[in-house]
Structure 1
Amino acid sequence: MTGWGMATVHATTMAPTKLELLTGWLPRQPWYRGFGTPALSRAGGFRLDDPAGEVGIELMLVSDGTGAGATTYFVPLTYRGAALDGADAGLVGTSEHGVLGTRWLYDAEHDPVASAQLLAFVAGAVEAQHQSESDTLDPTVGRSWTGDGQPRAVELVRVPEPGVPTAGRGAVEVDWTRPDGSTARGVVAVAR
């Protein structure tokens, strides 16, 4: 893809930052394993394009803590220029983007555009984009689909574990960086 697309990554600021928003949001999730306020750091991720060019889709991994006790979470986000009707339960927060203005950040599980693009990725219809480089594919993101036709649903693995096999007919597998600098790889989404 060339030209203006949602995979365009702007060199700008966001206030509050994504990690600041996630620090307040993450402890309220039922799959959060920590206690108190998380100490988050970026661990990896990738992007998917919205074919309409309206919604930013970033499938992030963040680590909470340091050393062997750190937990990695899969927190896919969407960025929108206006509130998404009916998705209040998935709102992570709003942020001021230095180029695009106010952005509404949602847990991608609550965003139909992200769900459709993740299904399309598993089926091989779209490609993963690099998390921090514009218009650049990310070939490290793995996908598999052994079912007939298109996958019907994708279940997110919120706390991915290295080497845990998928229980579905398809999966999305990514690398992430642990707080100690080592690399792990595991399944972040299971397709059915």
Structure 2
Amino acid sequence: MPDMALLYRAEIRPTKLELIDSWLPTRSWYQGPAEPGVRRVSACRFDDPDGEVGVETMLVQAGDGPVLHVPLTYRAAPLDGGEPWLVGTTEHSVLGKRWVYDATGDPVYLQALATAILTGGGEAEEFVDGDDGQEQRTPAMTLRGSGTPGTAVPTVGPIEQTTDGDPGRIITGTVELVVHRVLGSADSDGPVLTGSWDGGSPTVLAAVTLR
């Protein structure tokens, strides 16, 4: 069965972009105005096999600056030990209060990212839940891992060390993941995840190395 993400037609307060706007200036890798006024460039979803955590790859831009890679996760309860990665909380008109995290600190995202890269996977199919049932929509961005289908993927496990920079580095007992933040010139050795949007050329978003 293909990976899928179920979305809702809902009001979100504050919006995801408003949360990102407040959070970006606190990041070491952000260069731009104190009030970014970000706009959404593109986005797509990964699947959480347990159906509990929303996992989104978000690309944003502040003014005429570079495209920034901001992966997010959405949870119905706080992530244990996740305070350093908390972007903020929001009220979802269907799902209630949601805790929004920088996904580089969320094990569900890290597992999805490593799996996509190593197995040649991509974004999830998107379905919007409305009054007339579930309606499929086309994701705005295409993701593709450079690995091989059927490759065994280790359990990523607890985070041992992180670097909040560009790129961000996340080390666990089994993998080292690299997440590029400022897009356009990044290059990585080994298995990578690329993203394509608006008909542009594939851009490297992340990479993984087995330990």
Tell me, yes or no, whether TM beats 0.5.
Answer: yes
Aligned twin of 2:190: 169
TM-score (norm 1): 0.82
Aligned-partner Cα distance in 2 for 1:172–1:112: 17
Query: Cα–Cα, structure 1 residues 165 and 84, in superposed 2: closer, same or farther, change >3 Å?
Result: closer
Aligned twin of 1:14: 12
Query: Cα–Cα, structure 1 residues 129 and 136, in superposed 2: closer, same or farther, change >3 Å?
Result: farther
What are the within-5 Å matches in structure 2 for residues 41-190 of structure 1?
41-66=39-64, 70-124=65-119, 127-130=122-125, 140-145=142-147, 150=153, 152-161=175-184, 164=185, 166-176=187-197, 183=200, 185-190=202-207
Query: Cα–Cα, structure 1 residues 71 and 165, in superposed 2: closer, same or farther, change >3 Å?
Result: closer
What are the Cα deviations for residues 66-89 of structure 1, in whole angstroms up to 9, with x where unaligned? 3xxx22110000000001111101
Letter of the 1:188 counterpart: L
Structure ranking higher in strand proportion: 2
Letter of the 2:8 counterpart: H
Query: Cα–Cα, structure 1 residues 132 and 8, in superposed 2: closer, same or farther, change >3 Å?
Result: closer
Matched position secondary structure for 1:122 = helix
Letter of the 2:32 counterpart: G
Query: Cα–Cα, structure 1 residues 119 and 59, in superposed 2: closer, same or farther, change >3 Å?
Result: same
Aligned-partner Cα distance in 1 for 2:189–2:77: 34
Q: 1:35 aligns with which of 27, 33, 36?
A: 33
Deviation at 1:167, TM superposition (A): 2.0
Query: Cα–Cα, structure 1 residues 130 and 36, in superposed 2: closer, same or farther, change >3 Å?
Result: farther
Aligned-partner Cα distance in 2 for 1:60–1:167: 20
Aligned-partner Cα distance in 2 for 1:26–1:130: 28
Q: How many positions carry a matched residue from both structures? A: 180
Matched position secondary structure for 2:8 = coil
What are the Cα deviations for residues 100-135 of structure 1, in whole angstroms up to 9, with x where unaligned? 000000000010111011111112275412568666
Aligned-partner Cα distance in 2 for 1:36–1:109: 23
List structure 1 runs of 4+ shifted beyond 3 angstroms: 130-139, 148-151, 182-185
Question: Unaligned regions of 5+ residues in structure 1, if any?
Answer: none
RMSD between superposed Cα atoms in Å: 2.7
TM-score (norm 2): 0.75
Question: Unaligned regions of 5+ residues in structure 2, if any?
Answer: 129-134, 155-174
Letter of the 1:175 counterpart: S
The percent of aligned pairs where both chains have the same amino acid is 37
Query: Cα–Cα, structure 1 residues 81 and 165, in superposed 2: closer, same or farther, change >3 Å?
Result: closer
Aligned-partner Cα distance in 2 for 1:54–1:101: 14
